[in-house]
Amino acid sequence: MDSPYQLFLHLLHPIDTGPNAVFVSAMIQLTDKAVIKVRELEAEKATEGQLLRIFVEAGGCSGFEYGMSFDHPKDGDERLESNGVAFLVDETSREYLDGSIVDFDDGLSGKGFDIQNPNASSTCGCGRSFN
């Protein structure tokens, strides 16, 4: 039988219910549409123990670009949660993404995941890179 602590953690985050689970209030928010798409992709592509990783890397037409993948936790990662979805962010990416909102647009001209970043001084037309 799970302890009440494990049951509580399971309600918050069904992927990791171990005694070392750490939850940090997200400074990055996922919209309802983003959550639905993440859950769908997670079921299709993630393997046991992998979480969504949201990151920033050098590149793109504006200097930095956003990335998302399913990955295992690494040293230095923070495990955040928004709208019931746990995800990983490395320390450097969190500085760039702090206060961001991740949305998903699947409309006629939808471009997939869209990150609205208040820290970006400029973005390119594709919405995937920023400065």
pLDDT digits (tens, 9 = 90+) for 93-118: 998 899 999 999 887 776 789 888 88
**Which residue range forms the structural domain that includes residue 73?**
22-125
Q: What is the CATH number of the domain that holds 89?
A: 2.60.300.12
Answer yes or no: is 9 within a domain: no
13 domain-assigned: no
**Edge-to-edge strands of the sheet including 29-30?**
29-30, 101-105, 112-116
User: Is 1 a domain residue?
Assistant: no
Residues near 51 by beta carbon (within 8 Å), at least 6 away in sequence: 15, 16, 70, 71, 72, 73, 79, 86, 87, 88
Confidence grade of residue 58 (pLDDT, cut at 50, 70, 90): confident
Residues in the chain: 131
Tell me the average pLDDT across 34-61: 92
pTM more than 0.85:
no
The answer on pLDDT for 8 being more than 90 is no
Looking at the structure of the chain, the number of domains it has is 1
d(CA 107, CA 83): 22
Confidence of residue 122 (pLDDT cuts 50, 70, 90): low
> Two tokens at 93?
């990416």
